[in-house]
């Protein structure tokens, strides 16, 4: 950790009123060293440290995009940006001259559901989630085969599965998605030290030559400071990031009763909706499980 912090400082990362700390639930995170008011810049990260997939595809991997469009052309492969970041890690992780080597050296063993044994997966009760995990494993194997076939000349040693899994999971667990503030999916050294929560207190914005993290609410001393990975339920978080947390608002379903019958079904994605015809099948299955089949017929008639 000390070497990583030295690298952060030497490359111009600036922080204010925060520190990286070991948390009670067994991982590192970012906490406030003093009370912080809303709308304060707490982290400045020079853009040259961020690894943008768009930059890789337009510049460094322009030739690959031309000759291997099924891997690097976003019009043909929705994972093209993801794949460019994986290739960058594979090429730079063991490169002593790489700008990002201290960053890769610190992240020893990124893990998500792809690291789980079949016995561990078998303990999951959700059959649909098991199917998703199986598809993820198949996708991983297919991508590994492609990289071994097309890029073997790019590596000093023959690419093995463990090396590929490292890079694959590194991107899955640490990638920032492209949005209004970030030009494309990217890796953000130091920025990925913030853990996820739907009650996050920060937002990101590019100001000049820096990516900055700005507080969106008041933060107390010793309070953990969170980032927001997106509107994801625990199944997605488990698969991509390798964790879940209690009271995830994206997993909650709300039932409004009237006269002992369900009047309204709500969730985060469809707040206060009546699940009209286009949601009929979903609602029918749900209400069947709840023993309220008659509601769906009445609801459709009334609408």
Phi, psi of 145 (to 5 degrees): -60, -40
Average pLDDT for runs of 10 along the chain of length 303 = 91 97 88 98 97 94 91 90 96 93 92 91 89 93 91 82 95 84 88 92 94 97 92 87 86 75 64 41 56 48 47
Taking Cα atoms as reference points, which of 87, 123, 74 lies closest to residue 238?
Answer: 123
0.85 cut: is pTM over it? Answer: no
pLDDT value at position 118? 92
Helical pair 161-174 and 234-241, crossing angle rounded to 10 deg: 140
Structure tokens at 61: 């991997």
Task: Look at residue 235 and give its three-state secondary structure.
Answer: helix
Nearest Cα residue to 242 out of 144, 183, 190, 165:
165
The whole-number pLDDT of residue 268 equals: 59
DSSP-based three-state secondary structure for 86: helix
Q: Exposed, middle or buried, 97 (CB in 10 Å: 0-12/13-18/19+)?
A: exposed
3-state secondary structure of 73: coil
Residues 164 and 151: beta-carbon distance below 8 Å: no
For residue 298, which of 263, 252, 250 has the smallest C-alpha distance? 263
Distance CA 32, CA 64 (A): 43
Instruction: Return the pLDDT at 234.
Output: 87
Domains of the chain with bracketed CATH? 2-241 (3.90.1410.10), 252-302 (no CATH)
How would you class 249 by CB atoms within 10 Å of its CB: exposed for 0-12, middle for 13-18, buried for 19 or more? exposed
| Two structure tokens written together for 147 | 């990289």
């Amino acid at each position: 950790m000390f070497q990583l912090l030295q690298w952060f400082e030497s490359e111009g990362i600036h922080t204010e009123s925060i520190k990286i700390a070991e948390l009670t639930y067994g991982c590192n995170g970012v906490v406030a060293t003093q009370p912080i008011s809303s709308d304060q810049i707490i982290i400045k990260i020079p853009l040259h440290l961020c690894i943008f997939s768009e930059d890789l595809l337009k510049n460094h991997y322009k030739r690959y995009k031309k000759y291997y469009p099924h891997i690097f052309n976003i019009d043909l492969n929705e994972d093209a940006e993801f794949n460019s970041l994986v290739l960058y890690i594979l090429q730079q992780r063991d490169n002593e001259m790489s700008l990002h080597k201290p960053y890769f050296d610190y992240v020893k063993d990124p893990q998500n559901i792809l690291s789980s044994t079949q016995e561990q997966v078998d303990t999951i009760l959700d059959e649909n989630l098991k199917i998703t995990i199986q598809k993820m494993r198949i996708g991983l194997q297919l991508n590994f085969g492609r990289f071994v076939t097309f890029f073997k000349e790019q590596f000093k040693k023959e690419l093995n599965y463990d090396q590929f899994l490292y890079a694959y999971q590194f991107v899955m667990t640490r990638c920032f998605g492209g949005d209004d503030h970030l030009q494309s999916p990217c890796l953000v050294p130091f920025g990925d030290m913030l853990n996820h929560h739907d009650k996050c207190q920060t937002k990101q914005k590019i100001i000049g030559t820096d990516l900055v993290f700005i507080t969106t609410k008041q933060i107390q001393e010793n309070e953990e400071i969170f980032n927001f990975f997106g509107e994801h339920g625990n199944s997605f978080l488990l698969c991509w990031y390798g964790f879940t947390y209690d009271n995830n608002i994206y997993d909650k379903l709300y039932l409004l009763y009237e006269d002992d019958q369900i009047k309204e079904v709500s969730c985060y994605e469809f707040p206060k909706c009546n699940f009209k015809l286009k949601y009929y099948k979903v609602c029918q299955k749900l209400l069947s499980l709840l023993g309220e089949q008659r509601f769906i017929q009445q609801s459709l008639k009334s609408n």
